[in-house]
Amino acid sequence: MAKIYAKASRVIVWLGEEAAGSDQALEEIRIAAELSTRRLDTELSTRPLDNKARILILLQRSWFQRIWEVAAARYILIKCGSVEIAGFAFSSGLNALNLFNELRADLRAQILSVTYLIRGAIFRPKYVYATSQADNFSLDIRPLGELVEMYHTREATDRCDKVYALLGMSSDNPTAAGFSISAFLFDYQKLQVTAPSQ
C-alpha cells in the first residue's frame, strides 16, 4: 500500500459530511495557519477562538483513528463536506492554535502523530526504495519500534494492513535483519499471516 500512495500525486483525506460546525472549524484552522505563516503571532494570540469546541469535535472523527494513507503522501488535501484545506495548512493551523493540552491524553497523542505525518508530506521524495532490494519499499519515516509506539492504537480494516503499513513506514533495513516484507504472505481470504517455511 505504501508504494501505491507514494506514487499518487495527491491523497485526499475525506473526513465526512459537514456536521457540528466542521466547516467553521476547518476555516478557523486555515486562518490560524495563515496568521502563523505570516508571523502575525500577536494577532493570533489576541484573536478570539470562537470555534474551539467545533475543532475539538472535528478531531474526534473516525479518520483520525486510521491515517495510514497520509504516511506516503506527498500532497495531502483534507476535505470535510464542501470545505477543503491543504494538509500542511491543517497541520500548521493545529500547531498554531495549540489546543493539544485540551485534548484527552490518548486523543492528544493520536492528533500529534497525525500532524507529524502530514507536516512531513511536502518533504517526501517521489519514490523511496530500500538500498538493497526493490521489493522492500520503505518510506524511511522512523525506526519500527518508534512507529509501533506511536501508532499501535490505530485502526485498520485488517490487522495485516496495519503490519504492512508499519513495515512500509519503517526506516529500519529489514534485509540487514534477515527479514523481507515480501517473505510474508497475506491471505486476505483467510485473514491470517503466513510466514514461509525454511
pLDDT in tens, 165-193: 788 788 777 666 566 656 555 555 554 54
Question: Would you put residue 98 in left (φ > 0), alpha (ψ -120 to 50) or beta?
Answer: left
Do 6 and 103 share a domain, yes or no?
A: yes
Whether 95 maps to a domain, the answer reads yes
Do 88 and 182 share a domain, yes or no?
A: no
Whether 134 maps to a domain, the answer reads no
pLDDT in tens, 30-45: 999 998 888 766 666 6
Domain count, the chain: 2
Do 151 and 119 share a domain, yes or no?
A: no
pLDDT at position 3 is 72
Domain containing 166 equals 144-194
pTM as predicted: 0.72
Whether 131 maps to a domain, the answer reads no
Q: Cβ-count burial of 143 within 10 angstroms (0-12 exposed, 13-18 middle, 19+ buried)? A: exposed
pLDDT in tens, 57-116: 999 998 888 777 788 788 999 999 999 999 999 999 999 888 888 888 888 888 888 888
